[in-house]
Structure 1
Amino acid sequence: MHDGNAASAPGPAPLRTLRFGANYTPTRGWFHHWLDFDLDEVRADLDSIAGLGLDHVRVFPLWPVFQPNRTLIRPRAVEQLVALADAAADRGLDVNVDGLQGHLSSFDFLPAWTGTWHRRNIFSDPQVVAGQEEYLRTLAAALADRPNFLGMTVGNEINQFSDDPHPSPDRITREQAGRWLERMLAACERGAPGRMHLHAEYDAAWYQDGHPFTVAQAARLGAATAVHSWVFNGTAQRHGRTGTATEHHAAYLIELSKAWARDPHRPVWLQEVGAPAPLIGPEHAASFTEATVANALDCPGLWGVTWWCSHDVSRELADFPELEYGLGLLTNDRRTKPAGEVIARITEEWRGREHRPAVRSTALAVDVGGAESAPNRSVCAPGGAFFEAWAALTARGVRPAVVLAELAEDAEHLAARGITEVLHVSDVPAGA
């Protein structure tokens, strides 16, 4: 397991070819397709994704379907996951698998053995945690010999179960969250040694004071840092559809994560980003996609961009938040949408090219009251003093990196990252 605990020696960033992909949302039945798995439908979906020129998909087994009992991991479900991965390989697509689903598009998917009469904390109960370990190990092991298997993501934004605003959270401490993540990542590594295993949180880890999952965990545990960029978090409401903060939100999260990373060349994966209506209307989705991806590509150390999502959600399915129905690069009948055309063009432009944007030599120092627990991390959220100062600098044409306040005068750290100038929030005029 990669934990990033040892700082890398200063040196040039490794050469990388950018990866472009999509979070795979099946056209027939959404993620409920696992209940009526149809490999021909999956192949048709993957054909349409490959037709955009993408090179990978992120896929989502539903935890209750795959592990309906703590000691039953359904062999047939695992076989279907492998069949999906093999179908992806036939189309030149690599596969990342999210294990613990967990939470998807406003719906929770927890197995019956964790709730109601069997209610147990999914992060701290010894039996539940042991069951999760075996589940993740089993999925990873089933795919370990597939060349197109990138690795496991522990779960999709599973941190939302740990704190408000979840209506029934399983509360834990920061230390418990860290131990849980380490155990889950180790289970993935046991199943498939040497693959890119990581974890992914929604932005409470970055923005919410007191949240048990932290930026330090995101930026130091696992083989890469995953960021999920959604501008409905107050960014677009405050700054508008074309505001600098809105069009650079993904880039901001990428750069923010680097302040905590011990390895100056740790890869950052923009693992989810989308154009949510009505803040980004359908007629503006393409321009938002263009700007967001271009700004993310201006960040050194980017591993790749994985758009949310591949296909629209069918209107035959009820009770989704309205914005969830239209986030696809392709329609529910597999036609390419304008945003999909943008992604296809960008993918073609970058095919085979080395990604080496200029170093961000000016950094803005962030003070969150201590790197480990970040008790004041809300300064990083939309409307927070640090967030607004970073956006203001960006609007002035500066390309700000981010450095922790406690490292702002650490010459070795700054040199390793190529930072030659450090600014503070107080240096940025209000409303600049």
Structure 2
Amino acid sequence: MDFDLDSVRADLDSLAALGLDHIRVFPLWPLFQPNRTLIRPRAVEQLVQLADAAAERGLDVNVDGLQGHLSSFDFLPAWTRTWHRRNLFTDPEVCAGQEEYLRTLAAALADRPHFLGMTLGNEINQFSDRPHPDPDRITDAQATAWLERMLAACERGAPGRMHLHAAYDAAWYQDGHPFTPAQAARLGAVTAVHSWVFNGTAQRHGPTGTATEQHAAYLIELSKAWARDPHRPVWLQEVGAPAPHIPEAGAARFTEATVVNALDCPDVWGVTWWCSHDVSRSLADFPELEYGLGLLDSARRVKPAGRAIAALVADRRGRTRRPPVRTTALAVDVGGGDAAPRRSVCAPGGPVFEAWAELTAQGVRPALVLAELASDSAHLTSRGITEVCTPDEVVRSPRRPSSSFPDRRSTS
């Protein structure tokens, strides 16, 4: 609210010093559009100033528009709540206001070469279903219609930029959730995945378990099961090291392992760490884990995770290594790919998740393929897959990969 460009520049300087090349920024929706027919010009101007300051430091900018939700707090304008309570995804007037807001932000940045594009909002799917205490219930068809309309608004504002949407992992793991894997992997310019191991992964497998250090890679590969384009780019758009699930002493190891494993997946567009700087302890009521997720602390001192990221950037700058194709795939039976009514099989503890982690621990680099496509030779060939197994065929033992599943169905 008290925009200070010098403070913003100092934050950006501290990120550029780590070697980073882009940022996500989060304009708070109620501050930018306090009334359905008022988008504050001064707020939009400040967003452009931030983007220009980032560009001066070689940082590209992606803007998450409908904020929406951040770090356990909801930021919704008063014209959608209480006395004006209306569904965020289906009310005609609310949708028209959102559409114009997203178009306006995109248009303001359209001529900036360092502007990557718009993300519709940060995990806005959390408003549509449990465990939100007051969800705006919708169907998957209504979610699709809303996503398509809002992405079109961004495209009108800034044609040809990388506009996308982003969901938290209920889209991949929660049965009946209206935002689906098919939407994530087919709508927008790239697929975004948000990887948080406090979802049961670290609790089940520990901070250094294969499944924990490979969770981001798993989500990247899982998204490809639904993609129609075999080389659709995937953005690991949000990942961090949450304490106490990842102890402070292990944050650097987890950071390095997560990024290295993610970059071993083909077609990764980029990796964005959550978050830049710690939340100041002077601010109240954040969940404990939200305070310490930064690469730097709130005084801009680099933390171990930040040093790990900086070392990875320095090591890989200028390298163009493409990871090899993953030729072995695990079949994913979710009861039909579009609605995925049984997608919880993909969640931590589910048979797909645990079999993928087991294969990975044994040295296999598994891909994932929808069960209904597991015998489609054209689809498998387009992805370089030569053999497919089911979760039931994965032998939970430390044997070498060649004996991991004895009855493979070869497609070569």
Q: TM-score range by the shorter chain?
A: over 0.9
- Partner residue, 1:394: 360
- Partner residue, 1:333: 299
- Partner residue, 1:195: 161
Q: Which amino acid aligns with 1:143?
A: L
The yes-or-no answer on 1:385 pairing with 2:385 is no
Q: Secondary structure at the match of 1:303?
A: strand
Tell me which of 13, 19, 25 is aligned to 1:53.
19
Tell me which of 100, 122, 141 is aligned to 2:88.
122
Tell me which of 364, 377, 380 is aligned to 2:330.
364
**Matching of residues 164-183 of structure 1 within 5 Å:** 164-183=130-149
**Matching of residues 65-214 of structure 1 within 5 Å:** 65-214=31-180
Q: Which amino acid aligns with 2:305?
A: A
- Partner residue, 2:283: 317
Q: Deviations over 1:361-390 (max 9, x none)?
A: 000000000000000000000011111111
Question: What is the CA-CA distance between 1:359 and the residue it aligns to?
Answer: 0.4
Question: What is the CA-CA distance between 1:308 and the residue it aligns to?
Answer: 0.2
Quote the Cα distance in structure 2 between the aligned partners of 1:108 and 1:366: 34
- Partner residue, 1:239: 205
- Partner residue, 1:32: none
The yes-or-no answer on 1:348 pairing with 2:314 is yes
Q: TM-score, normalising length from structure 1?
A: 0.91
Q: Deviations over 1:181-206 (max 9, x none)?
A: 00010000000000000000000000
Quote the Cα distance in structure 1 between the aligned partners of 2:397 and 2:87: 45
Q: Which amino acid aligns with 1:428?
A: V
Quote the Cα distance in structure 2 between the aligned partners of 1:155 and 1:350: 30
Question: What is the CA-CA distance between 1:430 and the residue it aligns to?
Answer: 4.5
Q: Deviations over 1:237-274 (max 9, x none)?
A: 00001111000000000000000000011000000000
Q: Secondary structure at the match of 2:116?
A: strand
Quote the Cα distance in structure 1 between the aligned partners of 2:297 and 2:72: 20
- Partner residue, 1:29: none
Task: Compare 231-240 and 342-351 and name the one that shifted more.
Answer: 342-351
Quote the Cα distance in structure 2 between the aligned partners of 1:354 and 1:179: 38
- Partner residue, 1:374: 340
Question: What is the CA-CA distance between 1:355 and the residue it aligns to?
Answer: 3.8
Quote the Cα distance in structure 2 between the aligned partners of 1:343 and 1:132: 35
Quote the Cα distance in structure 1 between the aligned partners of 2:40 and 2:316: 40
- Partner residue, 1:217: 183
Question: What is the CA-CA distance between 1:431 and the residue it aligns to?
Answer: 6.4
Amino-acid identity (%):
81
Structure 1 unmatched runs, 5+: 1-34
Q: Which amino acid aligns with 2:87?
A: N
Question: What is the CA-CA distance between 1:309 and the residue it aligns to?
Answer: 0.3
Quote the Cα distance in structure 2 between the aligned partners of 1:339 and 1:91: 21
Question: What is the CA-CA distance between 1:348 and the residue it aligns to?
Answer: 1.3
Q: Which amino acid aligns with 1:54?
A: L
Quote the Cα distance in structure 1 between the aligned partners of 2:396 and 2:17: 46
Quote the Cα distance in structure 2 between the aligned partners of 1:431 and 1:382: 19
Q: Which amino acid aligns with 1:40?
A: D
Structure 2 unmatched runs, 5+: 399-412
**Matching of residues 7-22 of structure 1 within 5 Å:** none
- Partner residue, 2:240: 274
Q: Which amino acid aligns with 1:52?
A: L
Q: TM-score, normalising length from structure 2?
A: 0.96
Q: Secondary structure at the match of 2:315?
A: helix
- Partner residue, 1:18: none
Quote the Cα distance in structure 1 between the aligned partners of 2:89 and 2:191: 21
Q: Which amino acid aligns with 1:88?
A: A
Quote the Cα distance in structure 2 between the aligned partners of 1:347 and 1:200: 25
- Partner residue, 1:17: none
Tell me which of 236, 239, 250 is aligned to 2:216.
250
Quote the Cα distance in structure 1 between the aligned partners of 2:314 and 2:351: 38
Quote the Cα distance in structure 1 between the aligned partners of 2:32 and 2:14: 26
Q: Secondary structure at the match of 1:226?
A: strand
Question: What is the CA-CA distance between 1:426 and the residue it aligns to?
Answer: 1.4
Q: Which amino acid aligns with 1:254?
A: I
- Partner residue, 1:7: none
Question: What is the CA-CA distance between 1:353 and the residue it aligns to?
Answer: 1.6
Tell me which of 265, 284, 296 is aligned to 2:231.
265
- Partner residue, 2:30: 64
Tell me which of 307, 317, 324 is aligned to 2:273.
307
Measured on the aligned residues, the alpha-carbon RMSD in Å equals: 0.7
Q: Which amino acid aligns with 2:50?
A: L
Quote the Cα distance in structure 1 between the aligned partners of 2:263 and 2:296: 23
Q: Secondary structure at the match of 1:100?
A: coil
- Partner residue, 2:409: none
